[in-house]
Structure 1
Amino acid sequence: MEQWYVLKVKSGYEKKVVQGLSKMNVQVYCPIVKEVRIWSDRKKTIETPLIKSYVFIKCSEKNRPLAFSVHGVERYLYWLGKPALVREEEIEVLKQWTEDDAVEDVAYTSLQPGDRATIQRGLLKDQVAIVRHVGRTRVSLVLEDMGIVVNARLREVV
C-alpha cells in the first residue's frame, strides 16, 4: 500500500529532487508559492517551496530507499520512531492552498512573537495561530493543532 512520506532535502534542492524522483516515475509533491521579490532596480515574481527543505513522496514501504538515489535527499522525517505519514486529505489541502492562491495576506495592526491570533479568512479561517516571527513584510505563524508553521505576507490595515 502506498503512503505519503516526508523527505528532508538539502536547502534549495526541492525542485531538483522533485524532478529526479519524477524521472523515476515516483509520485512526488512539493507545494510551490509565488512571491514577489523587490530589488532596488526591479521586481520579479519567483516560485519558492511553501515548506522549505521538505518534499512529499508517495510510495510503498519497500520502495522508500529508492529516494536516496536522487542527489539532494538527506533523510525521511520520523515521528515517534516511525516514518512520518501524511494523509491524502492533508496533501489535498496543501494543493488547494497553492493552486487556488488561497494563502492570503495577513492583515495586522501590531504583532509580537508569542501573540495568539485567530485567522479571519481563507482556508485556515478560525484556526488559532501563535506568532513565531515578525519581519518587515512577512510573519511566521505556528498552527499547533495542525503541527505546521505557515509564512504569510503582511499587509497593513487601513
Structure 2
Amino acid sequence: MEQWYVLKVKQGYEKKVTEGLTKMNIQVYCPIVKEVRFWSDRKKTVETPLIKSYVFIKSTEANRSTAFSVHGVERYLFWLGKPAIVRNEEIEVLKDWVSNDAVEDVVYAQLQPGDRATIRRGLLKDQVAIVRHVGKTRVSLVLEDMGIVVNARLKEVV
C-alpha cells in the first residue's frame, strides 16, 4: 500500500530532489510558494519551498529506499521510531493551501515564540499551532498534528 512519507533533503535541494524523483516515476510533492525578494536595485518574485529541507513522496514501504539514489536526499523523517506517514488528507490541505495562496493570508497581533494559537480562517481552520519564530515579515508555526513547520509571510495590518 502506498503512503506519503517525509524525506529530509539537503538545504536548497528541494526542487532538484523533486525533479530527480519525478524522473524515476516516484510521486513526489514539494509545496512551492511565491515570494517577493528585494535587492538594492530591484525586486523579484521567486518560487521557494514552503517547508525548507523536506519533500513528500508516495511510496510503498518496500520501495522507500529507492529515493536514496537521488543526490540531495539525506534521510526519512521518523516519528516514535517509525517512518513518519502523512495522511492523504493532509497532503490535500497543503496543496489547496498553496494553490489558493493562503500562505499569504496571515494576520498576527503580538505573537511571541512559544505561544499557542488556533488558526481561525482558511484551509487550516481550527488547527492548533505553536509559534516558533516571529520576524518582521514572516512567522514560523509548528503544526503538531501534521508534524510540520510552516513559514508564512505576514500580511500588513492596517
TM over 0.5: same fold?
A: yes
Is the contact made by 1:108 and 1:156 (CA closer than 8 Å) also made in structure 2?
no
Distance 1:143 1:60, change over 3 A: closer
Helix, strand or coil: the match of 2:132? strand
TM score, norm. by length of structure 2: 0.91
**Higher mean C-alpha displacement, 32-41 vs 143-152:** 143-152
Distance 1:103 1:85, change over 3 A: same
Q: Which runs of 5+ in 2 are unaligned?
A: none
CA-based RMSD of the aligned residues comes to 1.6
Per-residue deviation, 1:72: 0.5
Per-residue deviation, 1:35: 0.7
Q: Which runs of 5+ in 1 are unaligned?
A: none
**Higher mean C-alpha displacement, 122-131 vs 74-83:** 122-131
Deviation string, structure 1 residues 130-156 (Cα, Å, up to 9, x no partner): 221111111112233433322221233
TM score, norm. by length of structure 1: 0.91
Residue matched to 2:102: 102
Residue matched to 1:92: 92
Residue matched to 1:154: 154
What is the distance in 1 between the residues matched to 2:147 and 2:27? Answer: 24
Is the contact made by 2:90 and 2:146 (CA closer than 8 Å) also made in structure 1?
no
Residue matched to 2:36: 36
Aligned residues: 158
Per-residue deviation, 1:11: 0.6
How many percent identity over aligned positions?
84
Amino acid corresponding to residue 139 of structure 2 in structure 1: V
Distance 1:152 1:76, change over 3 A: same
